[in-house]
Structure 1
Amino acid sequence: MRAPWVAALGATLLMQVIASFMAQSLPVVAPLLTGSLGLASEAIGNLSAINAFGTVLFLAFGGPFLARLGPVRMLQVGAALSAVGLLTLAVGTMPALVLAALLLGIGYGPSPPAGSRILAATAPPSHRSLIFSVKQAGAPLGGVLAGLVTAPVASAYGWGAALLVCAATALVSALAIQGLRQELDAERDPARSIGLRSVFSPKTLAAPYAALRLSPALLPLTLLAVSFAMVQGCLFAFTVTWLVEARGLTLVQAGGAFAAMQGAGVVARILLGWLADRTGRPSLNLLVQGGVAAVAVLVFASLPVGASPALAATLAAVAGFVAASWNGIYLAEVARLVPREHVSDATSGSTLLTFLGYVAGPAIFALLVAASGGWGVPMVAVALQLAVVTALVAPALLRR
């Protein structure tokens, strides 16, 4: 018997919050972490890229596990892997840092396809964009928790204590959704092989990409998502470090601005998801949002040195409102464009490419910081690429 969509949304929202909370806690403690290891401040960009690469690995090879274990179980496994990743940081060495970033990325990996599979099976079609957006609002909400919980705990008790709090929260949340597993994992395939030969077979690797051919709108939609992901990945990875290193804010003040950015994204994902359902033109909404987001990032980049924490938080919130609220509308569109039985594969394929934006964006940003000797050129570049990509894919999406 199918679980009510409210319960399904509650479970996916909770685990989205936790997945994001875990992932975003790494850049929040970055100024303390990189300092204790003797790393340059921009090294967090490379760690964010490794984190995103871990998610790409799951999206490429995790299909058999999702089919065998079911979406709820995979959300629980992802939370446990993220907890292990954060605890690995306690070793305090560079190899442990790399492994932790990779495990955090793999732990986040089940969230997009598992959440989409659950919601595609339970959400009323007339409210699909809104429901997917509410679930995706858990991503910036997790960032809010990282800014409001992880930063103060790290400042008061050290980054090790902050990471212990994060790991414990993840494990408790994984246990909290166990009661829904029987209903929401009812369509899993217990006979699906998860041996090495099956997981790493060419068929498994090709399935997500093959699903992208199910609709001509999927590829341009995915390209727009990649561009958005580059912007969001850079903002989330570098905002705290940029505000501390280049704009003179304290870690707690920068964490507050980071929380404002994430909080605005929570509100925007729900509001803009509702608007997409009302207009009936989700792709057009995303195109308009892409242009506005590019402008908002440029304005945020113009924040003067010595600016007040209130101004920093305000501009961060504006950037977060438009640059970190596209995910739910995009995932709802992917689910709408393909048959229900292909939602997991299409979401994995599209999200896999999207996460390449999360990999490339912070890595390129870090290189530009080192090459240019400052933060201005990278901030402008990341905004302009979104404006260009939005203009390029607009004809294809508007035809649909």
Structure 2
Amino acid sequence: MGQAWIAALGATLLMQAVASFMMHSLPVIAPLLTGAVGLAPEAIGNLSAINAFGTVLFLAFGGPVLARLGPIRMLQAGTTLSAFGLLTIALGTVPALGIAALLLGIGYGPTPPAGSRILAATAPPGHRTLIFSVKQAGAPLGGMLAGLVTAPVASAFGWAAALVVCAAAAFVSAALIQPLRTTLDAERDPRRLLHPRAMFSPTTLAAPYTALRLSPLLPPLTLLAVSFAIVQGCLFSFTVTWLVEARGLSLVQAGSAFAAMQGAGVAARIALGWLADRTGRPSANLVVQGFAAAVVVLIFAALPAGAGMLLTSGLAALAGFVAASWNGIYLAEVARLAPRDRVSDATSGSTLFTFLGYVAGPALFALLVRLTGGWGVPMIAIAAQLAAVSALVAPMLLRRSR
């Protein structure tokens, strides 16, 4: 295998970051975008739910496409589709926003299973969790870029210009990884059928769900990931809008706090991935992290109006550190628990359920904002459910991870 894992990690990290950059640019420009089309600020939660639903669609039906084209080609196709989704927003209508959110989600869909397939085949076993976590650090890295690049460009030149910048980054990154296709797509199956009867067959549809039976640890691990996804999805969807609408920050200030949240997530995914390799008990680490994240979200929710940027960015960074750094550890555990030839299926199945958390979380959060007329109750609710789920799965994950 040699040093092939370095090129594999570089490619998956780049595509993870760019996919995340595009996906998070939508909530970053939400205060400008929702107002321009006549939607309430909390409507970004519904768009985030549509976005996550698009990813669920790919994870449910895209397995044969991934097997036929290979992970590199699917990463290129997904990024390109997301770019066209962003450009659709330029139509400036509510239906265009919905279509764009759906295309963004479908385009993001190949990122988890394709990245896991590449790294499972190339990563040295002794550093697997760290390498998966470095790759997943691309997600908050892309979010940090959305806060630092998309928000200022949107403020200075309008939200349409910001979307063009995102799309350009997508097209360039897809071209950059093309030289790796021969090597990293070598195991693809060019004979795999892609007609509707094959893609929507009972066997294809059942594969992600039956994959969860490959290990008794996969169901509780997936449930904990769903709970984390609810928290992360809500934080990433609403932080900018919440800080602008309820805490009086400008879009650029809120974008900077959002970037701090994402930047802390980058550092945390690497640091906590390294720690999980050292302890040898990644699932146990996730349980402890779940309790810590619930506490930090409650503290962040108590941020007073008029708080300075130092306190705001500090709490946002702390939230990002513990609530948005679980992904790499979780995906590495899924890949470790599954047979090598079932890594894509296991990742797709577990991630499918996880993304249902990204669908339900922001949608229910937006509903609670409307029902309660404020942001406090929804923030408390997402923290409470994470604490409850962590307590529920702790006995099994702690016992079996020894």
Instruction: Give the TM-score normalised by the residue count of structure 1.
Output: 0.99
Give the CA deviation at 1:186. 0.1
Which sits farther off after the overlay, 2-11 or 95-104?
2-11
2:43 match = 43
Q: Specify the code of the residue in structure 2 equivalent to 1:125.
A: P
1:96 match = 96
Partner SS, residue 133 of structure 2 = helix
2:162 match = 162
Unaligned runs of 5+ in 1: none
Give the CA deviation at 1:3. 6.8
Superimposed CA distance per residue, residues 119-144 of structure 1 (whole angstroms, 9 cap, x where no aligned partner): 00000011000000000000000000
Whether 2:316 is the aligned partner of 1:300: answer: no
Whether 2:283 is the aligned partner of 1:287: answer: no
2:79 match = 79
1:343 match = 343
Structure 1: 4+ residue segments shifted above 6 A = none
Q: Specify the code of the residue in structure 1 equivalent to 2:140.
A: P
Once residues 3 and 281 of structure 2 are traced to their aligned partners in structure 1, the CA distance between those partners, rounded to angstroms, is: 29
Once residues 239 and 2 of structure 2 are traced to their aligned partners in structure 1, the CA distance between those partners, rounded to angstroms, is: 42
Q: Specify the code of the residue in structure 1 equivalent to 2:47.
A: L
Partner SS, residue 46 of structure 1 = helix
1:52 match = 52
Superposed, 1:250-261 pairs within 5 Å as 250-261=250-261
Superposed, 1:142-157 pairs within 5 Å as 142-157=142-157
2:17 match = 17
1:189 match = 189
Partner SS, residue 41 of structure 2 = coil
Give the CA deviation at 1:396. 1.0
Superposed, 1:363-382 pairs within 5 Å as 363-382=363-382
Once residues 162 and 195 of structure 1 are traced to their aligned partners in structure 2, the CA distance between those partners, rounded to angstroms, is: 37
Superimposed CA distance per residue, residues 170-229 of structure 1 (whole angstroms, 9 cap, x where no aligned partner): 000000000000000000000001111111111111001111101000000000000000
Whether 2:188 is the aligned partner of 1:175: answer: no
Once residues 149 and 85 of structure 1 are traced to their aligned partners in structure 2, the CA distance between those partners, rounded to angstroms, is: 19
Give the CA deviation at 1:79. 0.5
Partner SS, residue 315 of structure 2 = helix
Partner SS, residue 42 of structure 1 = helix
Q: Is the 8 A contact 1:3 1:184 kept in 2?
A: no
Partner SS, residue 186 of structure 2 = coil
Q: Specify the code of the residue in structure 2 equivalent to 1:127.
A: H
Q: Specify the code of the residue in structure 1 equivalent to 2:78.
A: G
Superposed, 1:203-214 pairs within 5 Å as 203-214=203-214
- C-alpha root-mean-square deviation of aligned residues, in Å? 0.7
Superimposed CA distance per residue, residues 100-130 of structure 1 (whole angstroms, 9 cap, x where no aligned partner): 0000000100000000000000000110000
Q: Specify the code of the residue in structure 1 equivalent to 2:348.
A: S
Q: Is the 8 A contact 1:86 1:163 kept in 2?
A: yes
1:232 match = 232
Give the CA deviation at 1:155. 0.1
Identical pairs, percent: 79
Once residues 302 and 398 of structure 2 are traced to their aligned partners in structure 1, the CA distance between those partners, rounded to angstroms, is: 32
Superimposed CA distance per residue, residues 322-356 of structure 1 (whole angstroms, 9 cap, x where no aligned partner): 00000000000000001100000000000000000
Superimposed CA distance per residue, residues 235-258 of structure 1 (whole angstroms, 9 cap, x where no aligned partner): 000000000000000000000000
Once residues 338 and 379 of structure 2 are traced to their aligned partners in structure 1, the CA distance between those partners, rounded to angstroms, is: 36
Once residues 83 and 257 of structure 1 are traced to their aligned partners in structure 2, the CA distance between those partners, rounded to angstroms, is: 25
1:396 match = 396
Superimposed CA distance per residue, residues 357-386 of structure 1 (whole angstroms, 9 cap, x where no aligned partner): 000000000000000000000000000100
1:124 match = 124
Q: Specify the code of the residue in structure 2 equivalent to 1:313.
A: S
Partner SS, residue 20 of structure 1 = helix
Partner SS, residue 40 of structure 2 = coil
1:243 match = 243
Whether 2:312 is the aligned partner of 1:309: answer: no
Partner SS, residue 304 of structure 1 = coil
Give the CA deviation at 1:399. 1.8
Once residues 263 and 91 of structure 1 are traced to their aligned partners in structure 2, the CA distance between those partners, rounded to angstroms, is: 32
Q: Is the 8 A contact 1:2 1:184 kept in 2?
A: no
Q: Is the 8 A contact 1:140 1:265 kept in 2?
A: yes
1:5 match = 5
Superimposed CA distance per residue, residues 73-119 of structure 1 (whole angstroms, 9 cap, x where no aligned partner): 00000000000000000000111000000000001000000000000
| Count of matched residue positions in the alignment of Structure 1 and Structure 2 | 400
**Pair 3,179 (structure 1): closer, same or farther in 2 beyond 3 Å:** farther
Q: Is the 8 A contact 1:2 1:183 kept in 2?
A: no
Give the CA deviation at 1:145. 0.4
Superimposed CA distance per residue, residues 36-87 of structure 1 (whole angstroms, 9 cap, x where no aligned partner): 0110000000000000000000000000000000000000000000000000
Which sits farther off after the overlay, 276-285 or 306-315?
306-315
Give the CA deviation at 1:263. 0.1
Once residues 33 and 195 of structure 2 are traced to their aligned partners in structure 1, the CA distance between those partners, rounded to angstroms, is: 37
Q: Is the 8 A contact 1:78 1:109 kept in 2?
A: yes
Partner SS, residue 194 of structure 1 = coil
Give the CA deviation at 1:2. 7.7
Q: Specify the code of the residue in structure 1 equivalent to 2:257.
A: A
Superimposed CA distance per residue, residues 231-282 of structure 1 (whole angstroms, 9 cap, x where no aligned partner): 0000000000000000000000000000000000000000000000000010
Q: Specify the code of the residue in structure 1 equivalent to 2:217.
A: A
Partner SS, residue 389 of structure 2 = helix
